[in-house]
Structure 1
Amino acid sequence: MATTKEGQFTTSDGEKLYTKTWLPAPDTVKARVVYIHGFSDHCNNYDTLFPVLANRGFTVYSFDQRGWGRSADTQAKKGLTGPTTKVLQDITEFIQSLPQEDLAQPLFLGGHSMGGGEVLHYAASGPKDVLRTIRGFLVESPFISVHPRSRPSAVTVFVGRLAGRVLPHRQMVNKLDANLVSRDPEVGKAFAADPLCHDTGTLEGLAGLLDRAAELQTGKCVVVDGVGEGGKTRLWVAHGTADQICDYETCRRWYDGLQIEDKEMRVYEGWYHSLHREPGEDKVRFAEDMITWLEDRCGEDGQGQVGAGTERSRL
């Protein structure tokens, strides 16, 4: 059975971030997965996914990002993520902090929602020496565009950007509709009641979030072939068609435009935003789909089983 370990990671600028590791049983480890959580979220909200991965031989390393979860241990720190450069630097430093004795194991980088968008930015612009150590990238419901139902008005965005130039650390509550997180109503209730899901961003952080999405949409930020381990980019994308937080159609168009040989998109018909927390057996299917892709790419030569732009649907 998998075990867990909590800890703390100190960034180069002295910020202490909460970490948690899900550890497989000894002698069963196949690979390592670093997973980045989403907006108004924290790593312990993945308790239906990370233990499953660990029980199948994948060590999962995660942390509450700057401004979120247990890393925001004061009111003043809530949403205080810093600019995109800081967000990506934290990911770099977290990867570099992983146990040195595990370096022989393949490394994958994944993320959900806001974290998925950050992973795509990282694949496009991260340090080359770190990218060369990453076997593959996984994104779940990546934030490339806000769904129209959840999108703030243009006036709100414009005024927020203007104010952010003067008061970048000014906090603003951007409440997510808990009913849109999962088709399981109990998940929505738990999300709404979770004090660590505080829905609070700063003007700087929210602007950075929107800018990252816009750069992916417009092609200013592009994930290209040849950046990962062994000179290959291996990418797995998962999205529900009924996601009303991150827009599926935009993600679909973005994916279709990728010039990457080893890419796969899993489309889940009628599913909501947090695929790992969908009701009943659906979350099990999602975990199995992810595990299948990971296992296919855990070959000793770093090549895995390459798929040429495949797509699969879950009904």
Structure 2
Amino acid sequence: MSSVNVVEEWVTLSDGQKQYTKTWKVTPSAKAHLVVIHGFGDHCSRYDPLCRVFAEHGIESHGIDERGWGETGKRDQSFGNNQGYNTALSDINEAVNRTKQPGVPLFLLGHSMGGGLILNYTARKEQYDGVAKITGAIASAPLVTLTTPVNAIKYHGLKLVSHLLPSFGIRADLNPEAMSHDLEEIEKYKNDPLVHDFTTIGTAGGFLEAGKDLLTIGSKITTPILFSHGDADPVNLYASTKRVYEITSSSDKELKTWEGLLHELHHERKPDRDAVAEYYTNWIKHRIPQ
């Protein structure tokens, strides 16, 4: 069994942005590396239990707090502002290139907003050089379409205002009870000082447009990929994840449906969350060259 040493670090991105990172370092050596992209209102430290399971199997995880969220958003006092969807994709590309080591397989895991981001990222391999370095990706409850869609009037209003006032702040009204059946996890979510539902019109509009795009450009994804979604998810629509899975061009693709589970699969009740962690671990291990 591998041991883990958790290392926090601030890195400087190519445009000068300071970004908080956390790495679950494996000793003596990692069998694979994994870049973790968190969800909306989320931050990488909430993935600690899952990343520790990965570390037990020699998988070293590298998490980032995206612009507008977690310690990065707190430092900049810019909660909910990702500075543009393409900026978020470029930050993933930098994390991939920063993490990739010769001879060590590299995987991506993105949840919710992060799941939508990694799907859009892997669909744009002609734009981002890191995509070719990825051995496989896991999209957990990815944001393609909201389960309760924004009505047409509000949606088109958001699109219009996002061009005029992209930095205007709004609230997303996240429901903690939608995340998990586990009451303890719900309380942790409510009381986490870095969890928030702030965003900007530009950021929200970017997510909605990018999700809509996936229903067509998802066909460009050729990276080995696991789609993982609870069919009772009240946040992101399971049927849209299934649709992107169906059009994905990868010869190695899988849709894992978790019957009755809610949005944050990795924070569901035991034994469900243990089954999720085991499934992800085995999926990765089976794609590590022997």
Please state which band the TM-score falls in when normalised by the shorter chain.
over 0.9
How far apart are residue 75 of structure 1 and its match? Answer: 7.2
Equivalences for 1:154-233 in 2 at 5 Å? 154-217=152-215, 219-225=216-222, 233=223
Determine the C-alpha separation between the residues in 2 that align with 1:249 and 1:33: 27
Whether 1:291 and 2:288 are equivalent positions in the alignment is no
Unmatched segments (≥5 aa) in structure 2: none
What is the TM-score of this pair, normalised by structure 1? 0.87
Residue of structure 1 equivalent to 2:25: 23
Identity of aligned residues (%): 33
Whether 1:6 and 2:23 are equivalent positions in the alignment is no
Unmatched segments (≥5 aa) in structure 1: 226-232, 301-315
Determine the C-alpha separation between the residues in 1 that align with 2:201 and 2:243: 29
Structure with greater helix percent: 2
Whether 1:242 and 2:242 are equivalent positions in the alignment is no
How far apart are residue 122 of structure 1 and its match? Answer: 0.6
Residue of structure 2 equivalent to 1:270: 260
Q: 1:154 to 1:186 in 2, by over 3 A?
A: farther
Q: 1:33 to 1:74 in 2, by over 3 A?
A: closer
SS at match of 1:41: coil
Determine the C-alpha separation between the residues in 2 that align with 1:294 and 1:117: 20
Q: Deviations over 1:132-157 (max 9, x none)?
A: 21111111111111002xx3333332
Determine the C-alpha separation between the residues in 2 that align with 1:39 and 1:156: 20
Are the equivalent residues in 2 in contact too, given 1:7–1:18 (CA < 8 A)? yes
SS at match of 1:77: coil
Residue of structure 1 equivalent to 2:69: 68
Which one-letter code corresponds to 1:4 in the other structure? V
Determine the C-alpha separation between the residues in 1 that align with 2:220 and 2:201: 27
Residue of structure 2 equivalent to 1:124: 123
How far apart are residue 186 of structure 1 and its match? Answer: 1.7
The total of aligned residue pairs comes to 287
SS at match of 2:135: strand
SS at match of 1:132: helix
Which one-letter code corresponds to 1:82 in the other structure? Q
Q: 1:212 to 1:128 in 2, by over 3 A?
A: closer
Determine the C-alpha separation between the residues in 2 that align with 1:181 and 1:128: 32
Determine the C-alpha separation between the residues in 1 that align with 2:65 and 2:121: 17
Are the equivalent residues in 2 in contact too, given 1:22–1:60 (CA < 8 A)? yes
SS at match of 1:155: helix
Q: Deviations over 1:153-192 (max 9, x none)?
A: 3333222222222211111111211000011122122212
Are the equivalent residues in 2 in contact too, given 1:48–1:277 (CA < 8 A)? no
Q: 1:177 to 1:234 in 2, by over 3 A?
A: same
Determine the C-alpha separation between the residues in 2 that align with 1:153 and 1:58: 42
Q: Deviations over 1:188-207 (max 9, x none)?
A: 22212222111111111111
How far apart are residue 11 of structure 1 and its match? Answer: 1.3
Determine the C-alpha separation between the residues in 1 that align with 2:37 and 2:157: 29
Which one-letter code corresponds to 2:195 in the other structure? C
Whether 1:140 and 2:137 are equivalent positions in the alignment is no
Aligned residues: CA RMSD: 1.6
How far apart are residue 74 of structure 1 and its match? Answer: 5.0
Determine the C-alpha separation between the residues in 2 that align with 1:78 and 1:222: 33
SS at match of 1:73: helix
How far apart are residue 76 of structure 1 and its match? Answer: 4.1
Determine the C-alpha separation between the residues in 2 that align with 1:244 and 1:265: 18
Determine the C-alpha separation between the residues in 1 that align with 2:135 and 2:38: 20
Q: Which runs of 4+ in 1 moved over 3 A?
A: 126-129, 220-224
How far apart are residue 51 of structure 1 and its match? Answer: 0.7
How far apart are residue 128 of structure 1 and its match? Answer: 5.3
Could you tell which deviates more after superposition, 234-243 or 182-191?
182-191
SS at match of 1:20: strand
